[in-house]
Chain A
Amino acid sequence: MSPSLSWIDPGELKETLSRIGISVDGPPAPPPSFRPEPSEDQPSPPPTPNTEASPPPPHFEPVISVAERIDRFARWLEQLTHGAPMSIADPEGLLIEGRGLPEPLALASVALDRALRPIRGLLGTHQVGSVTLEIDGGRLVQTIWVVTPIGRVALGIMVERPLEPGRVELVREGLRRVFDW
């Protein structure tokens, strides 16, 4: 289990910041007062295991961070689509990645997803392939959904012609791999 949500290694942070002239020895910023204080009825943290008696941790293959996965996927997609503007939104409609696709168009992918829920119910499937929306001047925004462990992720791409079904599946597989950790 990662020690923190940000996966920042304190040693690496200290070394990296020292190279740009920032000291890590200062006190941390005080948290704002709106943070909820832990209540007494919250469970206490689990006891620290006795590391002397525990077996050594298992060996894991080097893990590529999600940010790096997304970056690699975006670069791959850029080659596949010849630099088409794109965005990736999470199930809550928050942009995970945006490369050139104006935010209103990226958010349209999320609105489309919600609009398609009844259709998915009718068809009895979670997948509706992809949807292509013509906006103006012949520009098309193609939205491709993929079900991942974090929920349904929406990829929006601005294209001149819709991606062929084979490429859509390829893109979907690539996006699925990003979140398959």
Chain B
Amino acid sequence: MFGLTIASQKGGVGKTTVALNLSYAMARRGWRTLLVDTDPAGAIGLSLTKKLSQAPGLADHLYQHTPIAGLIVETKLKGLGILPTGKIPADESERFTNGLADGAVLKAIQTAAQGRYDVVVYDTPSGFVGATLGAMRASRYVVSPVQAEPIAARGVMRIFEVIGALRAKGHPVELLGILLTMLHTKTQSSLAVAEDLWKTLPGNLLFEATVPRDPAFLEASAAGVPVGLLRRRPPPIAMVFDQLAAELEARLAPDAKDVANEPIALVD
């Protein structure tokens, strides 16, 4: 069991899209995955269904100590659960996010989910404050999406600095990788940013998978589903998250999960 935080300094880079679709892809690959929405805006719920966006969740655990087990929403995909944000009064966002900042509540979720899940994925609000810092404190690993455009790329150093500061204070969090998102392969300026990061950052830091800017994401959020469930024959973009999940597995510590690595015979 380990925690995996999806975090970035900048908003609008696709954190929720990554958190949701990566969780779905990981669960399909056999990881029992609990997706926890720490964003007071309830982005995961808003990406899926109205019912989920209004369901009790993390806020109810934080304020009323409702047991976590009763708040997890099981999905139709076996092994994928979601802990929504819950109802937060409009003027309580700051209190909510500050209540998660020390990481204790989010770490306790892992303890509560032990044996039922292999990984807890935290979707976070933008910026390295409050709930995002709490999720990073509670996590072993961080994946940071960076939008393929200049302003986002110019903020990329911040994630290294924040992880360095957390590690200096004894939190064993590791950066699993930087994920390029919203890459527009037909726009020279977007490609130029990607090329700059490919050249500048060490090769082991960037995931080979990149998330293109694709209307299928808009379709999926309008339909309230992960992109892999958009239709019976999912759009090609859904494969990106399968690739990302596979890369992620290769980067995880060998003791994170027992994986049989032998080839699987197609025929006897």
Contacts and interface: CB of A to CB of B under 8 A. Distances in A.
Contacts of A35: 191, 195
* Most chain A CB neighbours (cut-off 10 Å) among B161, B202, B204, B206: B202
The A interface is mostly helix, strand or loop, or mixed, namely: loop
B136 interface: no
A20 B93 contact: no
A7 B93 CA distance: 33
Contacts of A25: 202
A98 B202 contact: no
Q: How large is the interface on A (under 10, 10 to 19, 20 to 34, 35 or more residues)?
A: 35 or more
A111 interface: no
Given A6-B150, A6-B154, A95-B12, A29 B206 contact: yes
B195 A20 contact: no
B155 A67 contact: yes
B12 A94 contact: yes
Contact of A13 (B175, B201, B221): B201
Given A16-B161, A94-B149, A100-B41, A29 B195 contact: no
A29 B41 contact: no
Contacts of A67: 9-10, 151-152, 154-155, 158
Given A16-B161, A22-B175, A97-B126, A6 B156 contact: yes
Contacts of B153: 5-7
A30 to B, nearest CB: 8
Interface string B216-257: 000001000000000000000000000000000000000000
Contacts of B151: 66-67, 70, 96
Contacts of B104: none
A28 interface: yes
Nearest to A86: B11
Given A6-B150, A13-B201, A28-B199, A20 B164 contact: yes
Contacts of B198: 28-29, 31
A4 B197 CA distance: 9
Given A10-B200, A13-B201, A28-B201, A87 B11 contact: yes
A162 to B, nearest CB: 16
A98 B154 contact: no
Contact of B125 (A20, A29, A71, A100): A100
A26 B203 CA distance: 6
A99 B126 CA distance: 6
A70 B147 CA distance: 16
Contacts of B160: 13, 16-17, 19-20, 22
